[in-house]
Structures are given as C-alpha cells and as structure tokens.
Structure 1
Amino acid sequence: MNLDRRQAMGKIVGFAGAAAVSPAVFAADTCPVDGAIGLGSNGKDLADNLLGYIELDPFAVAKRAYEGYFRGGCMYGVFNAVVKELAAQGHEDACNFAAIPTNITVYGGSGVKGWGSICGCVNAAAMIINILGGVDQFQVISAVNRYYEKTPMPRGDDKFLNYIGAPIMHNDAGELLSADMIGQSVAGSILCHTSVSHWSATSKLGGKHKAKYERCAQVTAEIAFKTVEFLNLALKGELATDPEFEIHAQGNDDCSGCHTGTKREPDTYIGSDVNSYMECQTCHAPHDVTSGLTGMHADATCSTCHN
C-alpha cells in the first residue's frame, strides 16, 4: 500500500488523536510501512530518506530557540526551533517534520544531563542537519562548530535581543540582565564545561547565577540563528565561500605533525593519535616533544584551582 502525503498527514492526525486514549497506537505494527514517517532504520538506507530543507528566517528560528531554552534547555531550544519552523512552512515534508518528537533532545542540556560534554546547542544543530537533504551536511556542521568555538558570544546587539525578546531574567537587585552585565566570551571548544567556564572567568559571575541562564538562552538563540544562516547558504551552494566557514583550525598545525590518525605500531609509535577537528590549544599547552609535557600542572588535581 502506497500513501500520498495527504494520506500520510491523515495517518499522523489519526495517531495523534488516538494517542490521547492509548499510547499503544504507536506500536511498530500499527505504523504504515510504505508511507512511514522517518529516515529509515535499516542501515544502508539512512542516507536515502532525508527530509527536504527550505530556506528559513533565522530571526524567527532564533526567537523560537530562546523561548524553548526556558522550557527544555539548550539542545531542545535549537532542535525544536528548527524542526517546528520547518513544519510550519507547509512544504512537502512539513508533515514529516511535524511528526518529530522534539522533546527527545532535552537530555542534551548542560553537556548531556550535566556532564559538561558537548554543548547541547551544537549537538542539536548536528542532529537536525544530519536528517536534511539538499545540503552538504559536513560543511554545515563544521561551520556551526567552528563558529561556536571561535566567536565571542552571546552577540548582544539590540536588534537581535529585541527580536527574540531578551533579556527576561533579572539580577538579585531586580535589574534586567543587560548585555553589558552578561558580557561575552570565546568558548574555545564545543564542550559545555569549557564554554561556561570561560564565560564565568570573563564575566566574574558564578555558574549558578541567573546571568548564566540568560547567557545560555541567548547563545541557544544565536546558534539556532547561525545554523539556519549556514543552512541557507549551503542550500544555494555558497557556504564554502563564506568567510566565516573554516574547518581547519590554524592553531592545530604544529600538533597534527604527530597527533593525527596513523597506522603506527609499537616500534614506530611517537604520540597519541587524535581524531578531532577541535582547536587543540584550548586545553593542551604546546610542548617540546623532545623534553616532554610542560610541568606547570604536575601533582595538581582539578580541585586545586576549581573548587
């Protein structure tokens, strides 16, 4: 049985209505096979069932993302904003986007449930980009990651803040947390704990201060905005020529001589192989390989400075 898109929409509406009565309607044996909504789950067909991307308004997506942060965190904010905006456009894959349960991304907040690993913003961007056709996924994901790593954030300009409705949080004195109070910092990494730590050191505000949540909400909006900007450029084949697009981190040149992927065995081993496009120098100090690592942190633990 083949379903056209109108019939598929009817199936979605039917499922949604039935779900109010019983979640069991979403069992696999009740889903239409030929007209199934999704990207495929049989391995080889994953790349053949992508959803169509159409150009979006980055400001509209940023506003959704800012509001979404306060409901479900940074990963939800970005993912929900892009998906819901695509669903709202009424194009041929709108029903498919509408069927995506965006709350599955709530886990990604605070670097995955507080673990401080990958920031939920870039995690979400990669997740949505990964299911889109018509764009070079690697280029767009790389552009988003490098922007997050290298750019002073949050942007803090009046046009952007006014459009997304920021700020909404206040300091202990009852004052709205202005851009000057929040300040800017460069993450130097796509890791949540690095990003927040650099901001805290720059702003002199603690990680539990209300300003941190306002800052992260605005960063969520900014990354949603840039994700859409990069997607729009990629759709037109113009992303690779954008001056902000850069996969290669210039600071990694000295490191990559020894620390790239190799086929070395014990008799030719030099140093650990690293599989990463991230900027090395953010966390790793340069060192002379003939004399070993620098000893500035010898015998120290994290809690020596960070307690």
Structure 2
Amino acid sequence: MKRMNRRTMLKTMGMVGCATGCLASGLLPGAVPFTGPLSGPGNAVAGTTSGRFAQKDAPFSWKPHVLDAKVCAHVAYDGYWHQGYGCAYGVFYAIVGMMGEQHGAPYNQFPFTMLEVGKSGISDWGTICGALLGAASAFALFWGRKERDPMVAELFRWYEQTAFPMHDPGAAFKGVAGALPTSVSHSPLCHVSVGRWCQASGFAEKSTERGERCARITADVATQAIAIMNAKQAGTFAVAHGDPASVTYCGECHNPGKQSPLLKGKMDCTPCHSGSPHTADKFKNHP
C-alpha cells in the first residue's frame, strides 16, 4: 500500500470537507439544501417560513374588506368569460381580486388562475358548482371552520332554493342578450344544476345560452357571497335558509346513531333519491 504523507492527507481531507459543505449548502448540482431537522406533523409554528405545514402568514389571518356587490357582480360575470376560466375564477376574483384592486397586497399577489380548476364542477366533472367553490375558497382566506361553516351553509342553501339566473348584464352581455329561463336546482352540484336548467329551458348543455346562464349565476353567487361577508364583518350575519324537509326526513334513519347511519353531507336529498324513474332503481331493496 502506498503511504500518504501528512501534506497529502490534509489536502484530501480538505477536499472532502469542501464537498460535504457544498452539498449541504446546495452549491453542487443535484444537492438538496439542509435546513435543519424536519419537523413532525403538528410541530410547525404558525407564521414561520420553515418546517412542515408552516406558511408565511398565520392561518386565516387575512383581513377581509367590505365590497360593493353591485360592482363586483359585473366583475364576476366578466371573469367567467375571461380566457374561458369559468365560474370559480369569476367569483373568487370578484371577491379577492377586487380587494387587491382596491387595497393592494396581499390580495393582489394571489395566483387567481388557480381557481380555473373549478370550471364546470371541477375540471368538467360536474361536482360542486364552481361558483360556490370560488366563494367558499374566498371565505376560507379570512375565517376558520367554526366561523366559516355557517356562512358556507347559508350560501349553499340559498343556491339550492333560488331560481337562477337573476343577473342581467344588459348591453354588456358576452353570450346572449335578454332574459333567460330560470330553474331551481335543489342541489349545489353542477351536474344537477345545469341538467335541471337545460331540461326546463330546452337548451343543450353545450349551447351559448347555457354558457350565458352560468356566467350570470357567477354574478349571482358573487353578489350573495359578498352580502354574507359584509354582514359577517358588520356583526349582523344570520342564517336565513334552513334545511329542506328531505334532509330532516332522511336523517331520521341515516344520521349518526340511527338504524342506518350512512349519511354524509348536507345536500337536499331529493335530486338523487326522489324515487323518480331515473333514480328509483339506483339502489336495491331501498324502502
């Protein structure tokens, strides 16, 4: 074996030390910077910038501002059509984007296009109406679950029970002008809401009229969501829309602790469990 003199040994050790330091600091290609011990679940400190589950600001710490619903309704309508981003984007921008236009940071720093995912019931899946998703997401920037859930419930119940659309863009229309047929969805689901309107109006799902209808509902939901937010800030928010009879009736058997505790959710039961020819044979042996 070749013997290593003292100078060579020190030089080699120095190179190893340099490489180790460079890897740790991320100076070498492919290196992962070392930021200290990984924190376990629940160990992150709110407001810090490092550690698992940490975020820049404390949870639900953004301050809401009162908005003019009449102004924001037109923004929501236009937002629906903007680049084809749809209903969730339109509602969310009409709330948070308008706060950004009026108050600057941090509202104007939000990547608003993220809400495009809500279009057509989340990427065309027809699940939750994107307008409702945009509104609930905006609520969640400012209020935690305990305060937010009643606001979401009020908005969703209002949506289930209201004949849409109501908003009229007038000469600023982007799809079709004039009055449109209305319908009550009895559901917060895009699939049900759109389907019932198409059945009532006679227009196909891919029609310009249906697109115009959803753009106007985007404005309607933004208007109602802002009314709820403004009332919340003023200390006057109150629940005005109660549960439909189907929720109470079905809950007698299907709520937790009952004979068949299978129920998950708060939606009106009738659109999917009405016993009509389209739903009666959905489940076997159901009374």
Calculate the TM-score normalised by the size of structure 1.
Answer: 0.68
Counterpart check, 1:109 vs 2:119: yes
Partner AA of 2:151 in structure 1:
V
Query: Which of the pair has the greater relative contact order for Cα pairs under 8 Å at 6+ separation?
Result: 1
> 1:218-273 CA distances to partner (integer Å, 9 max, x unpaired)?
00011011100111111112121x6xx225333322111111123x7xxxxx3351
CA RMSD of aligned residues (A): 3.2
Instruction: Tell me the distance in 1 between the aligned counterparts of 2:147 and 2:278.
Output: 43
Counterpart check, 1:148 vs 2:159: yes
- Aligned pairs for 1:145-224 within 5 A: 145-156=156-167, 161-162=169-170, 166-170=172-176, 177-179=177-179, 182-224=180-222
Instruction: Tell me the distance in 2 between the aligned counterparts of 1:130 and 1:105.
Output: 14
Instruction: Tell me the distance in 2 between the aligned counterparts of 1:49 and 1:295.
Output: 43
Q: Which of 243, 247, 251 matches 1:252?
A: 247
Deviation at 1:283, TM superposition (A): 1.7
Instruction: Tell me the distance in 2 between the aligned counterparts of 1:95 and 1:228.
Output: 20
Instruction: Tell me the distance in 2 between the aligned counterparts of 1:227 and 1:48.
Output: 21
Answer whether contact 2:273 2:279 (CA < 8 A) is retained.
no
Partner AA of 2:86 in structure 1:
G
Q: Which of 121, 129, 140 matches 2:139?
A: 129
Instruction: Tell me the distance in 2 between the aligned counterparts of 1:191 and 1:260.
Output: 21
Deviation at 1:294, TM superposition (A): 9.1
**Counterpart in the other structure of 1:283:** 272
Aligned length: 236
Structure number with greater Rg is 2
Counterpart check, 1:80 vs 2:88: no
Instruction: Tell me the distance in 2 between the aligned counterparts of 1:102 and 1:145.
Output: 22
Answer whether contact 1:87 1:95 (CA < 8 A) is retained.
yes
**Counterpart in the other structure of 1:273:** 262
Q: Can you give the 5+ residue segments of structure 2 that lack an aligned partner in the other structure?
A: 1-34, 36-44
Deviation at 1:118, TM superposition (A): 0.6
Structure 1 residues 47 and 284: CA distance shift in structure 2, 3 A: farther
Deviation at 1:298, TM superposition (A): 3.5
Instruction: Tell me the distance in 2 between the aligned counterparts of 1:63 and 1:252.
Output: 34
Counterpart check, 1:63 vs 2:74: yes
Answer whether contact 1:230 1:239 (CA < 8 A) is retained.
yes
